[in-house]
Structure 1
């Protein structure tokens, strides 16, 4: 199979050991598979653990970061490719364009915003790339319960909810990316 490019959304502020270990495990597995990592370009928290582990396992890493965050000295200057943008909107567009699939790890409001934008675009047919929620610690349990309530009230349809692949296992998350992306990736 051709190399896939996996965009990962995750926290840039937590020091929770379980979450840092999850990010590192995902990065290691991306590298072990010979795939490329596209991330938010940070060198801190889960973003840093993810990128460091991916590089250590042989992955090519692409960090995409707005220049305002570079000036705060949180840029992953060890990235194989560091793309500096003027705005957050440009950052997200480049990350989406460079990815064959998306995985979301635990995170806060920025991570949620990235997940929802990518998920909504896929549901609306703007791309056919896999969108995976990797959540072994039930970080998103309340959100998923709320979404089920929206489905019951017919604010969200089954098809939209089925567009999000949910798993608690790193290998399963990456397998879903590989299967759904197909040979040579699935860029649209």
Structure 2
């Protein structure tokens, strides 16, 4: 009888945790603002209960989004055979920013957390770095340090922050913002390889 009670409690905890994660994932997919109170409400639990399972929104977002973002190999499969670094980087940039736009509530929450608590910046998924690395993996460094410099430039030009600057501050539509970032990333890449040949 006692074992059944323990098992029942464990099952209930697992169901509650799953409900919280699923609610967070659904909110993230909707593009709506993601906050712990909204997640708790959608999961039909109290905010205090949500915090018992996840100490902060960042840790919840990490778990909720792990299945939403595919790995770089899958993401860049359409350009896997390309020998053009600019084409590969442009595709990676467009792919990343379409996902940022689709999940912008969650992305904004993650950025906000890491701005206010820089020590937590390692908690962000880092999808941009994985995509950039994979896009440029087939290519040799044209000169010492050239790829590292290019990757740093691309991290600045094609990330979520750049997308939000273009949409929020410059007033571009999401499609125009993505097109601008894609063009910038391709231009940077072409320049890096052309200047070293």
> What TM-score results when the alignment is normalised by the length of structure 2?
0.28
Q: Flag the structure with larger Rg.
A: 2
Higher strand proportion (structure 1 or 2): 1
Higher helix proportion (structure 1 or 2): 2
